[in-house]
Copies of this chain bind each other. A is one copy, B any other.
């Protein structure tokens, strides 16, 4: 019994392969690399029933994760987030089997913690002592905090307009934090030259192969939480798309293990109308997206004009008969209120967009009433103080409440 059955890295574009003993970034052809496992070895030693004996975090799937020595695991207890049925919202949307997978309940309050946990652990295993990345907020927060636990030095550059809460998280981790008077693309250029000049490990989105393995665990958990009877539709707020790529990869791996049967869930990439390159590409039947100029949305987590893994996201949509859909900011914020007032989940704007998308796809009969639908909420609403408008009555001491 090995802790991990990781086998090698491969390029989904040019099919080159690489080992997992050395530090790798992109393929020589420029594509992100993916991680392969010895599926036969896993199938021989592991059964779904074994999982029940394990702790409720994402490391319960360690055979399907890339960290080979358990002592390298850097964990804050992330994973096995709740999958909760939403009956009241379901009635409102005519979807009787509507569920939320709530990624607000992880360290740092966003699903980025999964990628950071696995990415930082593998970086530690590979002997990385310093890494660098640009961020719009949540990813940098997660990677900086996990780096602190790992004893790895992190260098983070974020736009000065990135949310204050995420800036706090990076700062308190002790990371080398820099703000830039510009956008994340400007931060990316600064990181790019630092990586070259200072020999730092580049942990920008998809530039190292292991973040995706952490995100993959959302798919593994959804499957396990449904006792390996997969749902019909999974909606995912899509910026860089790593989560969607990861979920797709996870479900294919479970099929390869023989743990699940039948069609994969139809995967839905949900974007903001102000930044919808994947939607545009999907509507055109294209294999890649084009850069989206002057992107704008309150859901900063999905403000990604051109994703490095766009072709993998589109593959996931085409292969599962999924779709892509764009949601206006107003509709998104309206959905955020609906979810909170009917079900008590204070979701982030990105998650709210995915709920709005579920409603629209039901109205368009793309989703049927009796189908099982999972909406990924990628983070806690409390991380976005500026998306809630409040008007409250102000009382003075000794006042009484109106009836």
Contact = CB atoms under 8 A, between A and B. Distances in A.
Q: How many monomers of this chain does the complex have?
A: 2
B169 A393 contact: no
A342 B56 contact: no
Judged by DSSP, the binding face of A is mixed
A179 B344 CA distance: 21
Interface in A189-232: 189-190, 193-194, 197-198
Contact of A198 (B189, B341, B401): B401
A286 interface: no
A180 B399 contact: yes
Contacts of A14: none
Contacts of A171: 388, 390, 392
Nearest to A396: B181
B340 A397 contact: no
B172 A381 contact: yes
B106 A395 contact: no
Contacts of A390: 167-168, 171, 177
Given A171-B392, A395-B179, A102 B77 contact: yes
Nearest to A104: B107
Contacts of A401: 155, 157, 176, 178, 190, 193-194, 198
A270 to B, nearest CB: 20
A43 interface: no
A136 interface: no
A344 B165 CA distance: 15
A143 to B, nearest CB: 10
